[in-house]
A = this chain, B = another copy of it.
Amino acid sequence: MISKKMQEQIQSSSVIRAMFEEGKRLAELYGAENVFDFSLGNPNVEPPDEVNKAILEILNADNLMSIHGYMNNSGYEEVRAAIAKSINDKFSTDFTHKNILMTVGAAGGLNVIFKTLLNPQDEVITFAPFFGEYRNYVKNHEGELVIISPNTTDFQPNLEEFKEKITSKTKAVIINSPNNPTGVIYSEETIIKLSKILTEKQKEFGTDIYLVSDEPYRELAYDNAEVPYLSKYYANTIIGYSFSKSLSLPGERIGYLVISDQAADFENIVSAANIANRILGYVNAPSLFQRVVAKCLDVKVDIDTYNKNRELLYKALLSYGYQCIKPEGAFYMFVKTPIENDVEFCNLANKKNILIVPGTAFGCPGYVRIAYCVAYKTIENALPGFKALIEEIK
């Protein structure tokens, strides 16, 4: 009775649901404090005080209709202008409110841009390992996701294979840096090479290929690592941003798209994205939180907390004999499994009350993702389990 596509979705979600159920079962059995859930990318650092302060200021200052009412589908012009200015100040760009479209999180923004760009069977390329939802976002708009196999040496994108897989049907490339699930930041060198390949291929095929940069983790970069701002390297750039992690507001669904003036067909993309936001049923980004984020553009969550988790977990896992690239951003660690089968390894981890996600879910078997956005104590308490796990396998 439900659609065939959704029957398949229920089927494929059942693995993750089973894990979730297992976690609940373990928590009931051993107590929640004895179950170590590293499976969710759910921020555990509180939003900065400025967020609630901003809400109160807005409730006191503005009239109710202008706080909770409709506005242009692209969002409040003054909010978009404030965001443009903030980006310009940080990255010496030259955006105005016209380049910014407020969205229902980054997920909303990516769907808006794929709706805007994709004809049926158009191809969108991504690099494994990648955020699994891209499969759905591309399929929602009848496109085909083309996956480039992982470069497990340093988890920078595999540009050799990329070059070969670009065709006349390639409409977009989606990248995610700092990356979920690896925590790797795509280096400036990578971005320059990738842009060069795209420029050459556009010329070869006489097409436009849009580079969509999914950046919910931009502000979560450790050791002052630089995250290149892509519109400066490649003309056909569209950036999807979210405040879910930078301000720990994942439930509020607030983000934006940046559409570069330099992008081919700029005016039409802007018009179409505005309409897509409406007809996809988002209508507009939540109104109060548009105004809230505009007042919080210079603050972000305390990333020190995540950094301490990173250091603790990374050093410990390495000392036990695990192999892993040190993440430079986000709050994930992508660890090679000491046995080949990553799903089996997750099941073994479950037996130590440790919940982690198999790399297979990100198009990269033989690895697991550990989301370390958890209490420091949770990591401390889980470490003996991680140690026993690898020792038992050896």
Report if A246 contacts B (CB, 8 A): no
The segment out of A51-59, A225-233, A308-316 that lies at the interface is A51-59
Within 8 A of B (CB), among A261-289: 264-265, 268-269, 271-272, 275-276, 278-289
A208 on interface, CB distance cutoff 8 Å: yes
Q: Is the C-beta of A119 less than 8 angstroms from some C-beta in chain B?
A: yes
CB distance from A111 to the nearest CB of B (A): 4
Contact partners of A42 in chain B: CB under 8 A: 69-70
CA distance A285 to B3 in the complex (A): 23
Q: A3-B117, A56-B59, A272-B9 are in contact. Are A283 and B43 (CB under 8 A)?
A: no
Judge if A31 is at the interface, Cβ distance under 8 Å: no
CB distance from A146 to the nearest CB of B (A): 18
Q: Are B251 and A287 in contact (CB under 8 A)?
A: yes
Residues in A1-25 with C-beta less than 8 Å from chain B: 1-7, 9-10, 13
Q: Which of A100-108, A160-168, A386-394 contacts B (4 or more CB under 8 A)?
A: A100-108
Chain A residues touching B, range: 35 or more
Kindly list chain B residues whose C-beta atoms are within 8 Å of the C-beta of A119. Answer: 3-5
Chain B residues in 8 Å Cβ range of A51:
64, 68
Establish whether residues B10 and A268, one from each chain, have CB atoms under 8 Å apart when the complex forms: yes
A281 touches B104 (CB 8 A): yes
| Interface segment, one of A90-98, A132-140, A151-159, A328-336 | A132-140
Contact with A253, one of B47, B141, B283 (Cβ below 8 angstroms): B283
21 contacts between A and B (CB under 8 A): A1-B208, A2-B117, A2-B268, A3-B117, A3-B118, A6-B275, A6-B276, A10-B275, A43-B65, A51-B68, A56-B56, A68-B248, A68-B252, A69-B248, A107-B281, A107-B283, A137-B279, A140-B280, A253-B283, A280-B281, A288-B289
- A67-B251, A140-B281, A282-B282 known; 5 new pairs, CB 8 Å cut-off, are A1-B265, A52-B59, A56-B56, A104-B283, A111-B281
